[in-house]
Structure 1
């Protein structure tokens, strides 16, 4: 449902909504996409339904997907460009719509030919921006730059240690339960990442020590199934608080804006690669579905080597 001024506008017939629901169920069950990805796809599809309703002069229906022309698809993309949508965001939007159309086509309810005839927006994929070993080490020690309660500093140190020491995403670290806590003596973690895919991750002793120290100082009584990391009021910690912690530390440590919690994950992969880690192993540790995603770290490493070469070689 989209709203213009005070008048609600129906943008999809019940038949089209039912098809959308079945598509979402297929994505969740077969491709095991995360809830956030499913929600983003749903929003993008609603934008396309709204366009179709205005473009066709009637409420969007499954039948419209059988008569679409490449010109219609290009018109939609142009309308999104006019809203200021970036190439990256438009490419994601188109990926979701193409997925829905393929779903309809598999049921003989549409044709994907008009979409195949239109090129996906091109955009440059930025390389990961890892930190140096020294900067990453400084970033996982909040005690040197933050004035907080000791237990809060211990908590933040444990989280940042998990990001750099295990290559976890923020959501994965904050998703850990107390019973899963990698305390001293527990040298491995089972992580459920994107698409509910599980992977086994080794835990360094220094990370185990940081988590154990946090639990010893945490002022709240925690049950085994409670979330491990807590906010100052006792509720599960919000990812935004971790980002704010790193923002504060950047200023006091003189780190660049690229020093983010996720940069610690990039640093984990890049430093492993620089010290002889192979791509397949790093792919498994990071939980990447595709090796091509992990290969971006080889470009980072080569870039650093070339920078050193150009600065040091007498003929550079």
Structure 2
């Protein structure tokens, strides 16, 4: 993963656009190129390029309504003598901080560092903290699981019509928003497993229901994925000595019913399946400590079942 600091994004993508916009707005207020250059701390030649050339602008910054409001306020304040350099800098910094808080600077940073996508990064706003590290680990687990599923040819034949998903819950998760999964589900296209997006929290209610039922009984079982129910796969699981449990396919109160079954048994199974019902496709869940662990086990099972 390429290492790009947020400050580099500001210097290379944001400030050049803001300087062009401020130069044009100051010129609209009647300031000379020399005066504009003095306010912006650039050369007069640079100002001439800003005004008469065709400098490249970053559209996500240039077209943002907060940018327009800040540029108008700063230019008017400088032109009318109601702002000095300190005031102008303060206004620009306020805009940049706003853009660093899930704004266009975040988007630009994710493009420069694709590994940040889907992490809900708050480094610029909150700095590093244990909660963010835990969230990253959960998202990384789902990402690892997705890659494994997408690169294992045998998985193709076990993806149900409704699609596959894989989830990992945060420690002490208490709702679907605390379970990371793949938005839109994983599906098969042209004979290959396709992962449509980076993992996000709250992306799959069905996988989250199973994961939350498991963690309520065994806090170490925080991962699960679904596959099509297949007798060869179930046989492979039993041959390995895994704990396999059948459950009712109905959706109504499924989480509570699973939680009660697990509690009655005193243990969460390794493999959980149903045979379907009217309008409900037969589905098997493989569970593990994380989504990645569940995916590794699922891959071993589908390859054995081939």
TM-score bin, normalised by smaller chain: under 0.3
Normalising by structure 1, what TM-score? 0.23
TM-score in terms of structure 2 length: 0.23
Instruction: Name which structure has the greater RCO, CA cutoff 8 Å, separation 6+.
Output: 1
Structure holding more helix per residue: 1
- Give the structure with the larger strand fraction: 2
